[in-house]
Amino acid sequence: MALPTSPPRYPRGQCACRCLLWLLSVTWLAACAPVPARNPLAHWVPSPNVDVRRPVLIVLHFTNQHAVQKSLETLRTGNSGGPVSAHYLIGSDGDIYQLVADEQRAWHAGVGRWGTITDVNSASLGIELDNTGQEPFAPAQISSLLRLLDDLTARWRIPRTQIIGHEDLAPGRKDDPGPRFPWNQLADAGFGLWPQGALVDPPPGFDPWMALGLVGYPLDDRNAAVRSFHHHFRGIEGDTLDAQDLRVLYALARQLSGAQAP
């Protein structure tokens, strides 16, 4: 079929209407398009020396919900408290779901900090575990978590000690994954910071608060920081440091400073 040699002619009113519809469609498409990489205020002189966002931390959560499908809905929609997301969700049966690409910033950590990291969402990967926090974590789930951690730390070159809980970065505001989470099992597989060797009494003058800050805990609310520390390293409740806490903190401080075991 031959193509027309010139555009068809329309009555003046019809032409104006078509032009208006065309402008509206262009405006709608522009509104839906992602923000362009090029800044119109600058000359675009692209460099090949770029990289994607590289996470340096992994944060573990529990969903505090009773079904994977409910959690998938929560992590993919708006909620009463605002939209949330995570990179991965692991069901109690061990099934792994990915919701956000590793190189993208998910909304899982919220307000908090770990050591010198103050925008945790920008520096981390978030993993949700299907658990209410009131029950043991299923063996199949932990097995899948270990496989996922092995993959993520290797591919992104994340130090295997850089795996924490949500409550570690936000003491008092969050309590997941809670005292039932098997941090010692992760440590046996080589993941997470954990005291090595025999625990010994620290020397006179040892400052446990300095050690707690060295580990990474924010100390704005010291009682809350101790509660989170207890959940992670002792599997107990309480907000007062005891002699065993001092031994654990002394061991962790020595490991982080590179000191040799006594």
- Pairing type for strands 57-62 and 163-165 reads parallel
Extract long-range pairs of 185-194: CB within 8 Å, 24+ residues apart.
185/142, 186/142, 186/145, 186/146, 186/149, 189/146, 189/149, 190/160, 191/146, 191/149, 191/153, 191/160, 191/163, 192/160, 192/161, 192/163, 192/164, 193/161, 193/163, 193/252, 193/255, 193/256, 194/233
- CA quadruple 205, 194, 124, 67: dihedral positive or negative? negative
Q: Using alpha carbons only, how large is the chain's radius of gyration in Å?
A: 26
State the Cα–Cα distance between residues 16 and 230, nearest whole angstrom. Answer: 71
* CB contact set of 137 (below 8 Å; sequence gap of 6+): 92, 129, 131, 177, 180, 181, 182
* CB contact set of 24 (below 8 Å; sequence gap of 6+): none
pLDDT of residue 18: 55
Comparing CA positions, the residue from 169, 151, 161 lying closest to residue 220 is: 169
Q: Structure tokens of 35?
A: 């923000």
pLDDT of residue 6: 38
Comparing CA positions, the residue from 191, 115, 124, 123 lying closest to residue 160 is: 191
Residue 117: other Cβ atoms inside 10 A: 18
Q: Which of 128, 135, 167, 237 is catalytic?
A: 128
Q: Map out the domains of the chain with their CATH numbers.
A: 57-188 (3.40.80.10), 208-257 (no CATH)
Comparing CA positions, the residue from 176, 158, 153 lying closest to residue 63 is: 176
pLDDT of residue 217: 98
pLDDT of residue 7: 42
Q: Structure tokens of 209?
A: 């608060």
State the Cα–Cα distance between residues 245 and 236, nearest whole angstrom. Answer: 11
- Reading the chain (262 residues) residue by residue, the pLDDT tens digits are 333 333 444 455 555 555 555 555 545 544 444 555 788 899 989 888 888 889 999 999 999 998 999 999 999 998 777 889 999 999 999 999 999 999 999 999 999 999 999 999 999 999 999 999 999 999 999 999 999 999 999 999 999 999 999 999 999 999 999 999 999 999 999 999 999 999 999 999 999 999 999 999 999 999 999 999 999 999 999 999 999 999 999 999 999 998 544 4
pLDDT of residue 50: 83
DSSP state of 6: S
pLDDT of residue 226: 98
Alpha helix positions (H), the chain: 12-32, 68-74, 120-123, 139-155, 166-169, 183-188, 208-215, 222-233, 243-257
Catalytic site includes residue 103: no
